[in-house]
Copies of this chain bind each other. A is one copy, B any other.
Amino acid sequence: MNSFTEENYLKAIFKLLEKGEKAVSTTALSARMTTKAATVTDMIKRLAEKKLINYEKYQGVTLTEKGKAIAISIIRKHRLWEVFLVEKLHFKWDEVHEMAEQLEHVKSEELVNRIDAFLNFPKFDPHGDPIPDAKGVFNRKKSVLLAEINTGQNCIMTGVVDHSVNFLQYLDKVGLSIGKEIKLIEVVGFDKSIQVQLNGKEKVFLSHEVAKNLLVNKQ
């Protein structure tokens, strides 16, 4: 079994690799982990020993398949717990990170899969980040706020920022729900309200306030 620290290093390496570099430097990792470079060198030697990362002196590291699978499973647990904390325990989306950092290390595949089912297999966490499935497969695109996309862009609604009953009821009324296709027709400069087309059919107007609270995935 791997320690919390090892799991955290693997997660950090995964996230840094996701940014595009082909290998992660000791310095980048030490910044991410808020430890010293010497500490990172020690740790990556141990992870390489365990065949969780590929490491050559002075050349940075990459994940092996085994290491990558562990990193993804930690990310899956982190994001599912975040959904649980927000949806079921009504925490705000910006309060859950620290708790999820601890919960992600609870060791039980069965537990995380049951949480997944309990939450009805969510695809995105409350921050709009995609949740890998039980096989480690996930949609790599992060969701963005509807208020931040360009005219003409086609999207799929993936979540909300504001979880208030009022807001959810409003969405229901205008016909917006998770999975709905949304195309941005135009932005009105005056108040930044927008006109969108739903499922290639009805067009509706949404205030900037509403657009700031809707998460979408660009298509």
Interface residues of A (CB under 8 A from B): 85, 88-91, 98-99, 102-103, 105-108, 110-111, 114-115, 118
User: Which single member of B107, B114, B115 contacts A102 (CB below 8 Å)?
Assistant: B107
Contact B102 A106 (CB under 8 A): yes
Given A89-B118, A91-B114, A106-B106, output 7 extra A-B contacts at Cβ < 8 Å.
A85-B111, A89-B111, A89-B114, A99-B106, A99-B111, A102-B107, A103-B106
Provide the residues of chain B in CB contact with A106, threshold 8 Å.
99, 102-103, 106
Q: Which residues of B contact A90 (CB under 8 A)?
A: 114
How many angstroms between the C-alpha atoms of A102 and B110 in the bound complex? 14
**Prevailing SS type, chain A contact patch:** helix
* A108 CB contact (under 8 Å) in B98, B115, B118: B98
Chain B residues contacting A102 (CB-CB under 8 Å) are 105-108
- The docked-state distance in angstroms from the alpha carbon of A105 to that of B107 is 13
Query: How far is B102's CA from A110's CA once the two chains are assembled, in angstroms?
Result: 14
Alpha-carbon distance A118/B84, docked complex (angstroms): 12
> Within 8 Å CB of A91, what residues of B?
110, 114
Asked whether, in the complex, the Cβ of B114 is within 8 Å of the Cβ of A108, the reply is no
Docked Cα-Cα span, A88 to B118, in Å, equals 8
Q: Please, could you name 15 A-B residue pairs with CB atoms under 8 Å apart, sorted by A? A: A85-B111, A88-B118, A89-B111, A89-B114, A89-B118, A90-B114, A91-B110, A91-B114, A98-B108, A99-B108, A102-B105, A102-B106, A102-B108, A103-B103, A106-B106
